[in-house]
Structure 1
Amino acid sequence: MGAIKKFNPYRVDGIVKIKIVIPVNTIAFNELILSAAKSVASSSTYIEIENITEGSPFIENKYHSALNAPAVIELIQKAEQDGFDAVYVCDMDMCGVDAARTQVNIPVQGGFSTSIPQAVSFGRFSIISIVDGAEEMQREFACRFGGRENLVSIRHTGLHVHELTRPDLVFDRAYLTTLKAIEEDKAQAIVFGCSGFVDMAERIVKKLAIERNGLYVPIIDPNRVAILSLELQVKTGLCHKYHTQALEEK
């Protein structure tokens, strides 16, 4: 491993290297997530993916998040040492993200930290999640990242993480839950509250338009939004570390 790299503000050329950290102890989602990330990344962006190899194979509550966080932080630190410019922790529960930001000199994002600001820009929004055990964390993050006034509901598909490898089931549940959020909660935008809803946003948008007379409601795909946000942060010199250093010095 190389030396810890110094963050390079206002980088406008060259390859941007992003590491995706999967914060669960399974490889089941790696290829799907990597494919989704590459589909929106710039041609000059290099992406690698790696999952933790200890802890829980899923995160459905605060206990799972706390259990897996140390291994996630370790992978983030290793990514910086290996020369990556940014890290996306592919998780809506921000597993290990806050702690890692104080230890590295590169930007680190989770799912909600980039998705909620996007949703707020459209008005009232709903979060479409998995099981209800994750709701408390998700409501906290929605408020933290500016969505307190605009969050109209958190709806659950009832799916457990191990079921997310069944794309037809995920699509059907996500579509029906999204439709309820729009029709019953009057949501003007949807945030997928699970990064395992891979490649579902565009399909659901199209189905809504077909089945609901041209209805369009924006659906935020956390994986794609996070990758593009990190590209922007690297190229414009934005990083969390300096903020935490300043706080520590006071």
Structure 2
Amino acid sequence: MTLAITELAEKFQPEHIDIDVIGMKNTPEFVDSKETIEQTYNETLKTIKESETEYDIFIIACHLDPNLDQLRTETDKVIIGICESSLLYSQILGKRYSIVGSSNKTVQLKTELAIKYGAETELDYVGYPDDSIQGDLKERLLSASEAAKEVYNSQAIVLGCAGFVGIDSYIEKKLGIEVIDGVYTALIIADGYAKYHNYKMIK
């Protein structure tokens, strides 16, 4: 996952920020419950505190936005969650949407996040790839996204896992609807924030 995010960051070509990708070492391999969310807190906070002098913005690359509110109280740096950024982006589009997450374990958690971020009214469905379908992850995500489009008439798909990075364009071309990658939207916000900050400094 870290490699895929690094590749996306290199392709992003930001105008106002430099990007480093830092992998977490002492955290659960999969974050898919309230318990595993709690288990990421200490390591994430430690990483932020050790890096505060080097960075102005941190992106938490997990679509459950683990401990986002708590972490924001521990630093004056900007911290962006990829779920929050992707749902904000979907609201800007003004379209009904579905979330395709990693497994059935995260369905309720993602529904709660949609409510928290005020995006529940437009939410049609929270799904996940069917592991019984033949093919690679890309094809399983396409199948889950297609089901959301056909069954719920969703006009957009939010990819609900940082591990799905780089698959948005493939699904969008196949289905002809908007597909939103939270890592990319978080990078857009980070770069835009830096641009706006620089603009205010020279006014």
Q: Describe the SS at the equivalent of 1:47.
A: coil
Q: Is the 8 A contact 1:128 1:193 kept in 2?
A: yes
* Superimposed CA distance per residue, residues 173-207 of structure 1 (whole angstroms, 9 cap, x where no aligned partner): 10000000001011011100111102100011122
Report the Cα offset of residue 33 of structure 1.
0.5
Q: Is the 8 A contact 2:99 2:157 kept in 1?
A: yes
Match of 1:190, as an amino acid?
I
Q: Describe the SS at the equivalent of 1:153.
A: strand
2:29 maps to what in 1?
57
Structure 2 CA distance for aligned equivalents of residues 157 and 110 of structure 1: 22
* Superposition map of 1:217-228 within 5 A: 217-228=177-188
Q: 2:155 aligns with which of 180, 188, 194?
A: 188
Structure 1 CA distance for aligned equivalents of residues 140 and 117 of structure 2: 26
* Superimposed CA distance per residue, residues 17-45 of structure 1 (whole angstroms, 9 cap, x where no aligned partner): xxxxxxxxxxxx21111111232241442
- When normalised by structure 1's length, the TM-score is 0.73
Structure 2 CA distance for aligned equivalents of residues 79 and 228 of structure 1: 21
Question: RMSD in angstroms over aligned alpha carbons?
Answer: 1.7
Match of 2:182, as an amino acid?
P
**1:157 lines up with 2:129 in the alignment:** yes
Structure 1 CA distance for aligned equivalents of residues 16 and 69 of structure 2: 28
Shift of the 96–78 alpha-carbon distance from structure 1 to 2, 3 Å rule, reads: farther
Segments of structure 1 that go 5 or more residues without pairing to the other structure are 1-28, 160-167, 209-215, 238-250
2:50 maps to what in 1?
78
2:83 maps to what in 1?
112
Match of 1:35, as an amino acid?
E
Q: Is the 8 A contact 2:16 2:194 kept in 1?
A: no
Report the Cα offset of residue 226 of structure 1.
0.5
> Per residue, is there more helix in 1 or in 2?
2
Q: Is the 8 A contact 2:65 2:83 kept in 1?
A: yes
Shift of the 158–71 alpha-carbon distance from structure 1 to 2, 3 Å rule, reads: farther
Structure 1 CA distance for aligned equivalents of residues 78 and 16 of structure 2: 18
Q: Kindly, what percent of the aligned residue pairs are identical?
A: 21
Structure 2 CA distance for aligned equivalents of residues 205 and 95 of structure 1: 27
- When normalised by structure 2's length, the TM-score is 0.89
